[in-house]
Amino acid sequence: MTKNDEDNISPRVIAISSGKGGVGKTFFSIHLAVKAVRQGLRVLLLDADLGMANVDVMLGISGRGSVKQVLAGRSSLSEVLIHAKQGFDVLPGGSGFAELSALSSNQQQILMDEMREAAKDYDLVLIDTAAGIGDNVLFFVASAESSLVVLTPDPTSLTDAYALIKVLSQQRDVHRFMVLVNQVDAFEGELTFRRLMSVADRYLDVQLDYVGCMPSSKDVQRAVQHQQLLEHGEAYKALDATLKTVLSRPRDDSRQGGLQFFWEHSLGQSLSEEQTVGVPV
């Protein structure tokens, strides 16, 4: 019997997303998984950028399959999981599979069934989504207990982050978001967050929680290029502080409790809703 069976507690589920690509979302997801493992948690990282996945590439690992085999019914989730040397498990999303860009209702059901069974062995499930407001992104974020949005101070990133939050709040009933600003110092990070919050407070029914920032650094660039973790330097200190903040946040009871919400609520959501994202900024 696992710890979760004994305590009857479902794992916490956090979706990490962004309005725009290239803002460091996957980099943060991997380091969040590592931080959680070092705190003694059992962690599953789902690469939910289906068809264009890169978690396994950034970690320098490979396995026997991906979520594509799971959705096709050819493999169980446990058969395609990869155990990273950093101590957590990875469900690869697969790369080059255009047909996975929008899951059907049947595929959602298959994935939820597999996740429900696998989740018994974990304390924390992290979902690294694709960027943007595609059907898969909305499905995964709405299915999670907590949502973390990553952005940079670039105007297009800020605008796209707002668009993502708008669509999730108005179409998927997600109203609480943690926010991480990347590639900034502390002052600019706070300023960027306030810009986002000022518009969100005016036009949306949401609560934004600023969890921290991380500066631009050659150390980060080298870590990504060499498929390594960031382990030292000023950027690491800022990153580590943000990781601690995210993991210390209490569970969000409004999302009805972790993975139980993950596999029950979103299956009833229609993925054909209009996705209008005009940004009044």
User: Could you write out the three-class secondary structure of 124-184?
Assistant: EEEEEEEECCCHHHHHHHHHCCEEEEEECCCHHHHHHHHHHHHHHHHHCCCCEEEEEEECC
Q: What is the CATH number of domain 3-251?
A: 3.40.50.300
- In this predicted structure, the answer to whether residue 276 has a pLDDT above a threshold of 90 is no
- Residues in contact with 81: Cβ distance below 8 Å, sequence separation at least 6, in sequence order: 44, 63, 89, 90, 91, 118
Contact 175, 43 (CB under 8 A): no
When the pLDDT of each residue in the chain is averaged and rounded to a whole number, the result is: 85
Averaged over 228-233, what is the pLDDT? 92
> Taking the CA of residue 221 as centre, how many other CA atoms within 13 Å lie in the half-sphere pointing to its CB?
5
* Short-list 239, 163, 238, 162, CA closest to 195: 162
pLDDT 10s digits, 171-196: 999 999 999 999 999 999 999 999 99
Q: Would the pTM count as exceeding 0.75? A: yes
User: Which string of DSSP letters, residue by residue, matches 240-256?
Assistant: HHHHHHHHHSPP-GGGT
Smallest CA-to-CA distance from 135 within 50, 77, 194 is with 50
pLDDT at residue 264 in the model: 53
Per-residue confidence (pLDDT) for residue 72, from 0 to 100: 82
Neighbours of 198 (CB within 10 A): 11
What tokens does 219 get? 């150390």
- For 40: left if phi > 0, alpha if psi spans -120 to 50, otherwise beta; the answer is left
pLDDT for residue 116: 77
Q: Position of tokens 């600003």? A: 181
117-136 pLDDT tens trace: 777 889 999 999 999 999 88
Q: How far is CA 201 from CA 165, 195, 208, 280, in A?
A: 12, 10, 9, 12
281: confidence class by pLDDT, cuts 50, 70, 90: very low
As a whole number, mean pLDDT of residues 225-242 equals 93
| Nearest of 98, 97, 103, 132 to residue 115 by alpha carbon | 103
Tokens of 178: 């943690």
Give Cβ neighbours of residue 268 (< 8 Å, ≥ 6 apart).
none
Cα separation, 234 vs 86, in Å, equals 22
* Whole-number pLDDT of residue 277: 38
Side chain identity, residue 24: G
Q: Assess whether pLDDT exceeds 70 at residue 241.
A: yes
Residue 9 above 70 pLDDT?
A: no
User: How far is the C-alpha of 5 from the C-alpha of 149, rounded, in Å?
Assistant: 31
pLDDT (tens digit per residue) in 47-101: 888 867 688 888 888 877 788 888 888 888 888 899 999 999 998 876 656 677 7
Pairing of strands 43-48, 124-131: parallel
Query: If we measure between CA atoms, which residue out of 127, 98, 155 comes closest to residue 13?
Result: 127
Residue 163 to residue 276: CA distance in whole angstroms: 9
3-state helix, strand, coil in the chain (%, to 5): 50, 20, 35
